[in-house]
Chains A and B, each alone.
Chain A
Amino acid sequence: MMRPVVLRGGRIIDPSQGLDCVGDVVLIDGKIEHAGAAVGSPDGAEIVECGGSIVSPGFIDVHCHLREPGREDVETIATGARAAAAGGFTAVCAMPNTDPVTDNQAAVGFIVRQGLVAQAARVYPIGAISLRQRGEALAEVGEMVAAGAVAISDDGKPVASAHLMRTALEYARTFGIPVVDHCEEPTLAAAGAMNEGVVSARLGLRGIPSEAEEIMVIRDILLSRRTGGHVHLAHMSTRGSVELIRWGKERGIAVTAEVCPHHLSLTEDAVEGYATNAKMNPPLRTGEDVRALGEALRDGTIDVVATDHAPHHYDEKEREFADAPNGIVGLETALAVVVTTMVVPGHLDYATLIDRMSVAPARIFHLPGGSLARGRPGDVTVFDPSREWVVDPSQFRSKGRNTPYAGRRLRGRAVCTVVGGRVVHHIGA
């Protein structure tokens, strides 16, 4: 018998059922028992005072890199799942570009097991589209789904072959999972280190034009139209991509998309001085792109916020810009970056933020959670929207320290994360 949990006196916002009220959330036996007006506490319940905070269905990150197996020195599933919980995520989807690649049922099963052992945020594996992510032969998708994979992706590598993408979309339909694509036309993006524009021209860095992404965005949308398969476009970074997705959605094509907090908050200017913690792929773009992505998140053209959490070792980032690896950590800053750059200036309200970080990810990836309705899994995020804090990477639960937000004062912080009715993260007032 689990001890009941009562999240008391917070502002409950659950867009899945149009709920926005002050009250209590009661969790019994790992499930939602009640969410709404204040009620009495069950005997022996653990009480979490939530006054001043927002109580929301648990956040779900559909895109992160937990590095295990292969690079346990930079992250493990356990450290990643704890970092996720600390950032308010009750579930994360782990990308398959591990070593070895997560491209078979045994590898998927290993990630499921490590996730259960971690006892923090839930970890859902994403399987590879192609064997060893080589872009050639399709991986055994059916067996991976049976073992627990919730999507397939060759993330980190573009699916260069249009034929492979088409086949993956058709094949994945059988199992009702999305195909997640990292949109990058490889010949245009070759050896690129940042956005192609005046900053790259000045710094003498090889640029990646927006078209490298957009060409693949429209290819995938057209292939989705042809096949009826669900394509989910990872980490969108350009205004042009937004326009193409809008075009696809207007025609009823099964396309969904995500945006990362860094693409909503930073521009290519962050690279000035050859800052390797501003190096990621897709790269930081222009102010115009940032504005278009924010608007697309607000109006739903872009469905979800995802972190693309990508820990790297300190030494790997401490080098010449062109040689440094792509990516930044994001699990512990995502909520605050979105609150600070989107909600505080009035571009997004909390109900929409919660939709994009919880309800929509659950719906698109067919995951449990994403709702506080009675009987649903007891996955709840409590965050204080007005709490200010300064990002100190040395305090991260993640092993990764590679963030462009170090020293930045942000607003909004997860104070309590509940997974399956168990409090896995709680910080005092």
Chain B
Amino acid sequence: MTSALGKDLLGIEPLSADQIRLILDTAEPFKEISERTIKKVPALRGSTIVNLFFEPSTRTRVSFEFAEKRLSADTVNVAASGSSVSKGETLVDTARNLEAMRIDMVVIRHGASGAAQFLAERIESNVINAGDGTHEHPTQGLLDLLTLRDRFGRLDGLRVCIVGDVLHSRVARSNIWGLQKMGADVAVCGPRSLLPNAVGEFGVTVFDRVEAAIEWAQALNVLRLQLERMTAGYIPSLREYNRVFGITRERLAQADHELLILHPGPMNRGVEIDSDVADGPCSVILDQVTNGVAVRMAVLYLLAGGKPELAEAAKLAPGGDR
């Protein structure tokens, strides 16, 4: 059965604007399910889903697991330790073994760019990319789009700046492609050592100074800065990073307008973002987490062949059992 999204969700780059709109629209009715006492519908009853996580992750894995359980799917979590290069089973063997157990979907998080596509090309089950190396993290990008659309009522013409380590960020790539496809104006801001050398060919505006980005943008998506970037010599210190690029209340106060603040988490408070911003009135960081479950339910539902127009009906059906 071919879904409106095709077999897999590997990234936002291959999606059309219509497909993105479909996912966001489908997520709307699923939001309400999470507000119920009995948070469950039978849409995926009988489906078996494996959450295959080669990298440690709490937030994304839990979000997917809730999304799956609220759709009544049967789920198994596999935490494969170590990287693919460590001795042991190869990714292709892991995939074939899962396939042999007759599963319906795999949610994969992996440290290598392209790992989700690699898996998708070798098994018949639906594959959802939950983050592959520094390539894409499509459900994060989609939940960011949903959060922005909730607040602004539109994405077309919206000015969004992604701040921080774009070079190593799969969240940044998924956001750039998603926002551009939906008609937003996208900018990036960060030390040049943490921007791709070819960022100019991404069709984004580049701000060297965060003050200029704040002046321009209606929303900032603040990326997590990994401590390893400092030890690998990309930046001199986390302290200086905060002083030059940190999103602080003082900097935001310089703008003549309010900015919406997003962050994919987990946050380094006092490095890329100050606590009074993260916890302040313009922050939608927790809305992102809430929307994450709804977006993932929408993706699971659509990939399973669910009809968009039935999503409304699905939520009215009696709660599923286990």
Could you tell me which residues of chain A, from 184 to 205, have a CB within 8 Å of some CB in chain B? Answer: 196-198, 200-205
From B117, which residue of chain A is reached at the shortest CB distance?
Answer: A274
Decide if A273 is an interface residue (CB 8 Å cutoff).
yes
Chain B residues whose C-beta falls within 8 Å of the C-beta of A204 in the assembled complex: 113-114, 132-136, 170, 173
A59 lies within 8 A of chain B by Cβ: no
| A203 interface neighbour in B110, B114, B118, B199, Cβ under 8 Å | B114
Q: Is B13 an interface residue (CB 8 A)?
A: yes
Closest residue on chain B to residue A322 by CB atoms: B112
| Bound: A203/B135 CA distance, A | 5
- Chain B residues lying within 8 Å of A318, measured Cβ to Cβ, are 90, 92
In the complex the two chains form, what is the Cα distance from A202 to B196 in whole Å? Answer: 9
A322 pairs with B113, CB closer than 8 A: yes
**Whose C-beta in chain A lies nearest to the C-beta of B115?**
A320
Determine whether the beta carbon of B201 is less than 8 Å from that of A319: no
Is the Cβ of B198 less than 8 Å from the Cβ of A201? yes
A418 to chain B, nearest CB (A): 43
Please measure, in the bound complex, the distance between the C-alpha atom of A404 and the C-alpha atom of B90, giving whole angstroms. Answer: 22
CB of A323 within 8 Å of the partner chain: yes
Task: Tell which of A201, A273, A315 touches B196, judged by Cβ atoms closer than 8 Å.
Answer: A201
Which chain A residues numbered 146 to 162 have a C-beta less than 8 Å away from chain B? Answer: none
Min CB distance, A70 to chain B, in Å?
Answer: 20
Judged by a CB distance under 8 angstroms, whether B194 is at the interface is no
Distance between B180 CB and nearest chain A CB, rounded to angstroms: 12
The interface residues of chain B lying within 8 Å CB-to-CB of A322 are 112-114, 133
Q: How large is the interface on B (under 10, 10 to 19, 20 to 34, 35 or more residues)?
A: 20 to 34
Known: A201-B202, A204-B133, A204-B170. A321 touches B197 (CB 8 A): no
Q: How far does the alpha carbon of A204 sit from the alpha carbon of B115 in the complex, in Å? A: 11
Instruction: Determine if B85 is an interface residue (Cβ-Cβ < 8 Å).
Output: yes
A323 touches B135 (CB 8 A): no
Q: Which of B46-94 contact A (CB under 8 A)?
A: 84-85, 90-92
Contact present for B198 and A203 (CB under 8 Å): no
Cα A320 to Cα B202 with chains together (Å): 25
Q: Which residue of A lies closest to B114 (CB)?
A: A274
The reply to whether B85 and A323 contact each other, CB–CB distance below 8 Å, is yes
Task: Kindly list chain B residues whose C-beta atoms are within 8 Å of the C-beta of A323.
Answer: 84-85, 112
Q: Are B113 and A319 neighbours in the complex by a CB distance under 8 Å?
A: no
Q: Chain A residues near B112 (CB, 8 Å)?
A: 320-323
Which of B84, B136, B199, B202 is within 8 Å of A319, CB to CB? B84
Contact, CB under 8 Å: B197 / A207 = yes
Inter-chain contact B198/A196, CB cutoff 8 Å = yes
A4 within 8 A of B: no
Question: Is A115 interfacial (CB 8 A cutoff)?
Answer: no
Q: Measured between alpha carbons, how far is A3 from B181 in the docked complex, in Å?
A: 71
- Whether A273 lies near B117 (C-beta < 8 A) is yes
Q: How far is the CA of A322 from the CA of B54 in the complex (A)?
A: 15
Is A393 close to B, CB under 8 A?
no
Partner of B197, one of A205, A209, A320: A209
| Cβ-closest chain A residue relative to B195 | A201
Assuming the A-B contacts A198-B201, A207-B197, are A320 and B118 also in contact, with contact meaning beta carbons closer than 8 angstroms in the complex?
yes
| Chain A neighbourhood of B92, CB < 8 A | 318-319
Closest partner residue, chain B, to A199 (CB atom): B198
In the complex the two chains form, what is the Cα distance from A323 to B86 in whole Å?
Answer: 10
- Which residue from chain B places its CB closest to the CB of A205 in the assembled complex? B113
Q: How far is the CA of A318 from the CA of B95 in the complex (A)?
A: 13
With A and B bound together, what is the CA distance between A207 and B196 in angstroms? 10
A residues within 8 A CB of B198?
A: 196-198, 200-201
How far apart sit A242 and B90, CA to CA, in the bound complex (Å)? 40
Residue numbers in B under 8 Å from A315 (CB-CB): 90
List of A residues within 8 angstroms of B135 by Cβ: 203-205
User: A201 and B133: CB pair below 8 A?
Assistant: no
Q: Which residue of A lies closest to B168 (CB)?
A: A204
Which residue of chain A is the closest to B199 with respect to CB atoms? A201
Minimum distance in angstroms from A212 CB to a CB of chain B: 13
Give every chain A residue within 8 A of B84 (Cβ-Cβ).
Answer: 319-320, 323
Task: Find out whether the CB atom of B173 lies under 8 angstroms from the CB atom of A202.
Answer: yes
Cβ–Cβ contact A321 & B91, under 8 A: no
Residues of chain A from 290 to 323 with CB closer than 8 A to chain B in the complex = 315, 318-323
Task: Give every chain B residue within 8 A of A202 (Cβ-Cβ).
Answer: 13, 173, 202
Rounded to whole Å, the gap between the CB of A315 and the closest CB of chain B is: 7
A209 CA / B202 CA spacing, docked (Å): 18
Chain B min CB distance to A289 (Å): 15
Chain A residue nearest to B85 in the complex (CB):
A323
A215 CB to closest chain B CB (Å) equals: 16
Chain A residues, CB < 8 A from B90: 315, 318-319
Given contacts A273-B117, A315-B90, A323-B84, contact A201 B110 (CB under 8 A): no
Q: Give the chain B neighbours of A209 by CB distance below 8 A.
A: 197
In the assembled complex, the CB of B224 is this many whole angstroms from the nearest CB of chain A, namely 16
Interface centre among B85, B90, B114 (most CB of A within 10 A): B114
- Write out the residue numbers on chain A whose beta carbons fall within 8 Å of the beta carbon of B114: 203-205, 273-274, 320-322
With A and B bound together, what is the CA distance between A319 and B112 in angstroms?
Answer: 10
A368-391 vs B, Cβ < 8 Å mask (1 yes, 0 no): 000000000000000000000000
Chain A contacts for B170, CB-based, 8 A:
204
A196 to B195, CA, bound (A): 13
Tell me, in angstroms, the Cα distance from A182 to B33 when the chains sit together. 60
B176 to chain A, nearest CB (A): 10
For the complex, give the distance between the alpha carbons of A322 and B91 in Å. Answer: 13
Closest B residue to A193 using CB positions = B113
Compute how far the CA of A320 lies from the CA of B110 in the bound complex, rounded to whole angstroms. 10
- Complex: how many Å from CA A295 to CA B208? 39
A197→B13 CA distance, assembly (Å):
17
Contact among A196, A197, A198, A321 for B113, CB-based, below 8 A: A321
Shortest CB–CB separation between residue B83 and chain A, in angstroms?
8
Q: Closest CB of chain A to B27's CB: distance in Å?
A: 25
> Chain B: residues with CB nearer than 8 A to chain A?
13, 84-85, 90-92, 110, 112-115, 117-118, 132-136, 170, 173, 196-199, 201-202
Sample (27) of A-B pairs whose CB atoms are under 8 Å apart = A197-B197, A197-B198, A200-B196, A200-B198, A201-B198, A201-B199, A201-B202, A202-B173, A202-B202, A203-B135, A204-B132, A204-B135, A205-B113, A205-B133, A205-B135, A315-B90, A318-B92, A319-B84, A319-B90, A319-B92, A320-B110, A320-B112, A320-B114, A321-B112, A321-B113, A321-B114, A322-B112
Known: A203-B113, A209-B197. 15 other contacts (CB 8 A): A197-B197, A198-B201, A202-B13, A203-B135, A204-B134, A204-B170, A204-B173, A205-B133, A207-B197, A273-B117, A274-B114, A320-B114, A320-B118, A322-B113, A322-B114
